[in-house]
Each structure stands twice: as C-alpha cells, then as structure tokens.
Amino acid sequence: MIVNFLKNLFGIIHYNNKIDFFIYKKLRSYLPKNQYPRPPKSIAIDPCSVCNLSCPACVACKSTPGFVSAKLSFDKFKLMLDKMPFARKLLLCNWGEPFLNDDIFKMIRYAKTKKLYVSLYSNLNIKKNDCFYTELALSGLDDLLISIDGITQENYEKFRAGGNLSLVFENIKKINAAKEKKSSSLPKLYWHLTINKYNEKEITQAAAKAEELKMQFMPNYIILYHRVIPIDESEMAEKNSYWLPAKNKNYYHWQKNKPYRLDYPCQNLFLTVFFDPEGNCFPCRYLSDVKDSFGNILREDFFDIWYGKKFLSARSLFLKNKTLPVNKAATICDSCVMHKKY
C-alpha cells in the first residue's frame, strides 16, 4: 500500500486496481497547485500512432480529424527527451502499437540511460524472431501492460478486432522464456482487461490465466467515447447497449452525459504532459487532434510551452486564486466536460 501511495504521489501514470485508483484520484486532487507548477515528473511520448488492429470501440484515432498517424524517429525522440531532464517516468505509448516502431528498444535504452522508469501498453499482436524477445528482456523496460480483453478468441476479438489471442499467449510465453534465459526480472508483465458485455463472464478465468503466465491482473472499465467533449445521446445509447457489461457497473458514470464527469479539478495540466510522434504537446492523454495541441517540443523550448499562454490559461480554469495571462488563450480545456471548473 505504501509503495502504491508513493507511486501515485509522484505521478506514476497507471494504477493496478480500484484501491490504487481511488488513492490516485484523492492524492492528485489534494496536491498543491498554482499556475506555474514544477515541470512534470511523468511524461508520455507516443513512438507510434499507427495500429495493427481495428478495435471498433477505439476512441483514438483513425476517424478523428487532425489525428497524426506516424512513427517517431529515434533522433526526434532523443531531442524530445533531452529537452526534459526533469522527467522521472516515461510512458512510451499513447495511440497505436509501440512495437511497430523498429527503434523502440533504442528509445527504451536511451531513456534508461537517463534513469527513467519506462512503461508501455501493447496489444502484442506481433510476429517477431527470438532476438526481439532477448532484446526486450535486456532492454530495461520496467512495465509491459498487455491489452487482452478475453480468454476466448470469440470474445477477445469483439473488442480487439483483427487480433489473434493464441499469438498473444505465444508471445507472452516467449517473453517469459527470454526473461528466464537472461535472468531478467523485467519487464514486469500486466494483463490489462477492459471489461465489456462479452468478456465479463471470463474475468475469473482470465485472472487464473494471468497468474499462470506470471502476469499481474488489471481488470479495467471500458471507455467508449471521447472523454472531453459532450456525447451525442443516440450514439451513446447505441454503444452502451452493445458494450456495457451487465454486472460490472462500477464505472457507468463515464458513460453518462453530465455537466462534468468528475467532480474535482483537472490535475493533468499540473502534473503530466503528452507528445505525439510529431512532437505536438497535449495536456492530457485524451487529446489527439493537432489543433488542440499546446505547442511543439521539436520547435520550441519545453518551458515556453509549460509556462506558455495556453497552459496558463487552461490551468486558471481550475484554480480559485489565479493570475490570468494578459491575453487569455482559448484551449480545448474551456469546453472540456471531464472535470469541474471554478
């Protein structure tokens, strides 16, 4: 518990269970804030926004106007990281499949030279040779979170369309074999299961299978919509009836139209920052349209963005005592329905 407490206090990007998530929310909402926070310890860089699957409920990408579909080059990655020496944790993914980027291990190794804690999510629908698994076991990657939404192919592919469950299991066994061969305890493996109507009856079996595969089990709620914009009622009704689980209703609040989905101020603007493969900077992981970006780290200094007009204006929405910039900048945060504003 104390470890998770500290992990969350310092802004680690993922959480492992509902108790972690609860603490994470509470802690983050009580952290002191002002318009000029310290630079973020947790950052996310997307190495590849191209994906090999076509999940029907993917809120990411392909259909979003302004979405950048690209792979990040190592040189750009290095330039980005070198501009953020204050970072301690790196989430090396956002939209898409990170292992489609051939430079991924080079990036992880470089991040490790800077003593960063590195995590990434993968669908693991990849066909690679033995060298890949050896390199993975030796790369220093701390956490590998694998999205596995079911225990049978039929239910798995409902959400992970185009995915092959046997291939995923085969790949996990290869990772475990490579870790054993190289006497490496890393990466730690996590089974990330998004609970939906079709796989909810498989949760117990999935937990047992995760243990067999030496993975930590992380069931999670389903997100069907863009988080920051209001949802069309008819679209919502249709998606809800198709996807929402009957029993696991804990997170239904995400799926309802309310003035704000969460009744506490946005913490993202004070604690983290996200970059797409072109260097566009976003204040939270939910954004992918380049027109919503707050700057570009390949062209600008990090601090010009972090203390720039857009961040200052957006932060001011969530502060009681604030000093607005002389010319307030309009941002996506003005119309965001995710967090309650002052």
* Residue among 8, 139, 268, 293 that touches ligand SF4 (CB under 6 A): 268
CA distances to 57, 94, 222, 245 from 155, in Å = 14, 24, 15, 13
Position 283 contacts ligand SF4 (CB under 6 A): yes
Q: How far is the CB of 229 from ligand SF4 (least distance, A)?
A: 9
Closest CB to ligand SF4 among residues 16, 49:
49
**312 is a site residue for ligand SF4 (CB under 6 A):** no
Judged by CB under 6 A, the stretch of 23-31, 70-78, 104-112, 332-340 that binds ligand SF4 is: 332-340
* Beta carbons within 8 Å of 234's beta carbon, 6+ residues apart: none
Question: Least distance in Å: CB of 56 to ligand SF4?
Answer: 9
The DSSP annotation for 46-62 comes to -SB---S---TT--SST
| Rounded least distance, CB 273 to ligand SF4, Å | 10
Annotate each residue in 51-90 with x if it binds ligand SF4 (CB under 6 A) or - if it does not, as one string. x-xxx--x-x------------------------------
Using the 8-state DSSP alphabet, how is residue 339 labeled?
A: B
DSSP for 129-191, please give it. -HHHHHHHHHH---EEEEE---SSHHHHHHHSTT--HHHHHHHHHHHHHHHHHTT---SEEEE
Residue from 284, 297, 305, 312 in contact with ligand SF4 (CB under 6 A):
284
The verdict on 314 binding ligand SF4 (CB under 6 A) reads yes
Q: Where in the chain does DSSP place strands (E)?
A: 42-45, 89-91, 117-122, 143-147, 188-194, 216-220, 272-275, 280-282, 295-296
Q: Is residue 48 at the binding interface for ligand SF4, with CB under 6 A as the rule?
A: no
Of 104-112, 185-193, 207-215, 278-286, the window that binds ligand SF4 (rule: CB under 6 A) is 278-286
Which of 286, 294, 302, 311 is in the footprint of ligand SF4 by CB under 6 A?
Answer: 286
Q: According to the binding rule CB under 6 A, does residue 339 interact with ligand SF4? A: yes
User: What does the CA dihedral 142, 144, 145, 150 come to, rounded to 10 degrees?
Assistant: -150
The DSSP output letter for 84 is: -
Contact status, residue 197 vs residue 154, Cβ threshold 8 Å: no
Q: Is 91 in the site for ligand SF4 (CB under 6 A)?
A: no
Taking CB under 6 A as the rule, which mask of x and - marks residues 111-140 in contact with ligand SF4?
Answer: ------------x-----------------
336 belongs to the binding site for ligand SF4 (CB under 6 A): yes
Size of the site for ligand SF4 (CB under 6 A): 22
Residue 279: strand, helix, or coil:
coil
Question: In the block, which residue shows the tokens 């592919």?
Answer: 157
Which pair of tokens denotes residue 74? 């190592």
Dihedral sign from CA coordinates of 203, 287, 14, 127: positive
Tokens 């797409």 identify what position? Answer: 276
Rounded to a whole number of angstroms, the minimum distance from the CB of residue 281 to ligand SF4 is 11
User: How near is the Cβ of 159 to ligand SF4 at its closest, in Å?
Assistant: 8
Neighbours of 317 (CB within 10 A): 20
| Residue 156 touching ligand SF4 (CB under 6 A) | no
Pairing of strands 280-282, 295-296: antiparallel
Using the contact rule CB under 6 A, the part of the chain among 80-88, 109-117, 128-136, 333-341 near ligand SF4 is: 333-341
Least distance (Å) between residue 97 CB and ligand SF4:
6
- Name the site residues for ligand SF4 (rule: CB under 6 A): 51, 53-55, 58, 60, 95-96, 123, 228, 266, 268-269, 283-284, 286, 314, 332-333, 336, 338-339
